[in-house]
Amino acid sequence: MLYLASLGDEGADGAGADEAPDPTREYVSIRAVSDELGIGFSFLTKVFQQLNDAGLLISKRGPGGGVALTRPPEQVPLYDIIVAIDGDDLFEECVLGLPGCGEAEPCPLHDHWTEARGRLETMFRNTTLAEVPDVRLTPFIDGTDDPVPDVSEGTS
């Protein structure tokens, strides 16, 4: 989703990011996204299917096919993406995964997690795809920087 949003003004069809979706637009090939980001094609296809089912992406098969955002990035809360892929368990379930955890029988972290979970949900609901900087994609796209620092070497 970040990659598709990062296409911005030079999107697949040249339309601006804040223009309404155009069903005749050019789509971004799933293979191209897979290759560009180094994500397995089969895995990415399954994730895109979940996002399509949630109405966040539109897809088209065949030549010139692929995927496209259904709404401008400014209208896509991160919450919608998380729920489409992982469900809403993060915002409803016990952080320790304990069945029955709740106000009546709280786990040791219940009060802390309830507060933190509420802040996370608010942040994800109030932050759109457009607000997430795409600079973090650069190491994945150009392959010049390792996104995970090598901590195996000692520091002086």
**pLDDT(8) > 70:** no
59: in domain: yes
For residue 76, with 0-12 CB atoms within 10 Å meaning exposed, 13-18 middle and 19 or more buried, which class applies? buried
Residue 129 lies in a domain: yes
Q: pLDDT tier at 134 (50, 70, 90 boundaries)?
A: low
Task: List the domain range (segments joined by +) for residue 44.
Answer: 2-136
**Residue 66 included in any domain:** yes
Instruction: Identify whether 31 is part of a domain.
Output: yes
DSSP notation for 125-143? HH-BGGGS-GGGGHHHHH-
Residues 113-137 have a mean pLDDT of 86
For residue 59, give the 3-state DSSP assignment. strand
The CA distances from residue 30 to 4, 74, 87, in Å, are 11, 22, 23
Count of structural domains, the chain: 1
Residue, of 19 and 102, whose pLDDT is higher: 102
pTM: 0.73
Q: Per the domain annotation, does 148 fall within a domain? A: no
| Measured distance between the N- and C-terminal CA atoms of the chain, rounded to whole angstroms | 39
Q: Is residue 146 part of a domain?
A: no
Structure tokens at 8: 């911005």
Is pLDDT larger for residue 14 or for residue 75?
75
Tell me the residue type at 69.
Answer: L
> Residue 64 has what pLDDT?
82
Residue 99 lies inside a defined structural domain of this protein: yes
- Tell me the pLDDT tens digit for each residue of 41-66: 999 999 999 999 999 999 988 888 89
More confident residue, 144 or 133: 133
Residue 112's domain is classified under what CATH number?
A: 1.10.10.10
Domain presence at residue 154: no
pLDDT at 26: 65
Question: 50: which residues sit within 8 A by CB, 6+ positions away?
Answer: 84, 85
